[in-house]
């Protein structure tokens, strides 16, 4: 059986603010096997970054964790002392942050920044660490790495800087690599290059990966499992195949609907109508009800439980209750399935 590296169980995170308590993460559970990749997908504000910052012990000082467990190799990280967190960060678990600019030190040579975790966590001597930094620079596709190892961040383009940030995250040879929207700050062509590089890396390294994105489109070829987040909760959780070919939650349908179709007239990015609820006062019932065109009366009254679709697939929607009327995903999603199956057939021929 695969080794479980991480089990997040019933995690709740609140933030104390002047306006009241923001219930940012509510009852989040997921797990990760060694070497596996999980994608966390959801709109802005759904709680993706807070979930992963909690895993690094890096939440803002107004955060409270009233409930939950973060079992890393069976040990609950929420019981960590600050010293234990420092040992873990950049070593056992490392994170590529959303904004590459803030994660590089403008006053320090890039090669030294990559070598630093090697000296700090792996006990390497400076020379050995710099040699390894050079290897890492090559691994993340920095051209003429030898020539550029002494460069400073401002001498590099955004895409190259993001590669440097990825090299730093890899330097400690982490068990878990968290990538928080590693490409959003970059333009589209560079985004594709970085994703391509990350897919190649994924084949080579043994780390488990938590990959955060608001775009289901980049998830298909990359992740094993998908957690769809909405308003601080995981509303659907399954293997990539289950989420793409058998999605059950109307919010997941909305995300699939909003993926642009390549070479189609409908190549517009459509977003799901409406806005997420206020997490200071989460609504009664299902948090997605107000935006759900299939909402039932009960959605406005009672929170749905997780319904099991398969042993690896859960969704939190009353539509899965045996008493609910049968509704199906949109024609657009069905057209997409048709297209994917044709593409697969084309590949097989």
We find the least distance from the C-beta atom of residue 252 to Mg ion, in angstroms, to be 19
For tokens 């306006």, name the residue.
19
Of 46 and 113, CB closest to ligand ATP: 46
Could you give the count of Cα atoms lying within 13 Å of 296 in the half-sphere of its Cβ? 15
CA angle 20, 24, 29 (to 5 degrees): 145
One residue of 6, 8, 11, 50 binding ligand ATP per CB under 6 A? 50
Note whether 211 and 37 are within 8 A (CB): yes
Of 114 and 227, CB closest to Mg ion: 227
DSSP secondary structure code for residue 36 in this structure: -
Which of Mg ion, ligand ATP, none sits in contact with 42, Cβ below 5 to 8 A by type? ligand ATP
One residue of 22, 256, 259, 295 binding ligand ATP per CB under 6 A? 22
From residue 297, give the alpha-carbon distance in Å to each of 41, 207, 244, 276, 328.
27, 45, 28, 19, 18
Of 22 and 130, CB closest to Mg ion: 22
Q: Which of 289, 230, 183 is nearest to 28 (CA)?
A: 230
Residues whose CB is less than 8 angstroms from the CB of residue 86 and which lie 6 or more positions away in sequence, other chains included: none
Considering the rule CB under 6 A, would residue 15 count as an interface residue with ligand ATP? Answer: yes
**Encoding tokens for residue 3?**
């080794």
Site string for ligand ATP, 248-287 (x = CB under 6 A): -------------------------------x--------
We find the least distance from the C-beta atom of residue 64 to ligand ATP, in angstroms, to be 11
Distance CA 319, CA 297 (A): 11
Which of Mg ion, ligand ATP, none sits in contact with 209, Cβ below 5 to 8 A by type? none
Which residues ranging from 195 to 224 are in contact with ligand ATP (CB under 6 A)? 214
Which of Mg ion, ligand ATP, none sits in contact with 17, Cβ below 5 to 8 A by type? ligand ATP
Of 1 and 19, CB closest to ligand ATP: 19
We find the least distance from the C-beta atom of residue 257 to Mg ion, in angstroms, to be 22
Distance CA 304, CA 298 (A): 9
Of 49 and 292, CB closest to Mg ion: 49
We find the least distance from the C-beta atom of residue 51 to ligand ATP, in angstroms, to be 7
Of 44 and 81, CB closest to ligand ATP: 44
Note whether 41 and 62 are within 8 A (CB): no
Phi and psi torsions of 123, nearest 5°: 65, 25
Of 34 and 291, CB closest to ligand ATP: 291
Distance CA 143, CA 132 (A): 16
Distance CA 65, CA 70 (A): 11
One residue of 3, 10, 17, 310 binding ligand ATP per CB under 6 A? 17
Size of the site for ligand ATP (CB under 6 A): 17
Which residues in this chain contact Mg ion in the complex, by CB under 5 A?
49
We find the least distance from the C-beta atom of residue 278 to Mg ion, in angstroms, to be 18
For tokens 């807070």, name the residue.
50
Widest pairwise Cα distance in the chain: 68
Contacts to ligand ATP by CB under 6 A:
15, 17, 22, 24, 42, 44-50, 60, 62, 98, 214, 279
């Amino acid at each position: 059986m695969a080794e479980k590296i991480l089990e997040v169980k019933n995690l709740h995170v609140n933030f104390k603010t002047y306006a009241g308590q923001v219930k940012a993460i509510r009852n989040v559970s997921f797990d990760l096997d060694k070497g596996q990749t999980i994608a966390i997908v959801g709109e802005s504000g759904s709680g993706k970054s807070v979930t992963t910052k909690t895993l690094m012990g890096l939440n803002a000082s107004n955060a409270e964790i009233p409930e939950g467990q973060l079992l890393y190799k069976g040990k609950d990280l929420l019981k960590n002392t600050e010293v234990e967190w420092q040992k873990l960060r950049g070593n056992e678990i490392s994170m590529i942050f959303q904004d590459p600019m803030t994660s590089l030190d403008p006053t320090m040579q890039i090669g030294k920044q990559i070598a630093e975790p090697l000296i700090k966590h792996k006990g390497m001597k400076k020379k050995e660490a710099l040699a390894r930094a050079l290897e890492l620079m090559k691994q993340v596709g920095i051209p003429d790495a030898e020539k550029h190892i002494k460069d400073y961040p401002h001498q590099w383009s955004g895409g190259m800087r993001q590669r440097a940030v990825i090299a730093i995250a890899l330097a400690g040879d982490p068990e878990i690599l968290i990538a928080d929207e590693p490409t959003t700050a970059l333009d589209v062509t560079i985004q594709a290059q970085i994703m391509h590089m990350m897919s190649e890396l994924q084949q080579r390294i043994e780390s488990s990966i938590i990959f955060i994105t608001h775009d289901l489109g980049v998830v298909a070829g990359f992740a094993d499992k998908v957690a769809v987040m909405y308003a601080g909760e995981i509303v659907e959780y399954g293997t990539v195949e289950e989420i793409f070919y058998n999605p059950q939650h109307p919010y997941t349908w909305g995300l699939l609907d909003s993926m642009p179709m390549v070479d189609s007239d409908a190549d517009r990015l459509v977003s799901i109508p409406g806005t997420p609820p206020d997490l200071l006062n989460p609504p009664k019932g299902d948090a997605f009800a107000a935006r759900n065109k299939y909402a039932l009366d009960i959605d406005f009254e009672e929170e749905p439980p997780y319904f099991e679709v398969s042993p690896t697939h859960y969704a939190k929607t009353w539509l899965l209750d045996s008493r609910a009327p049968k509704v199906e995903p949109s024609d657009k999603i069905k057209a997409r399935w048709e297209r994917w199956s044709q593409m697969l057939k084309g590949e097989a021929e």
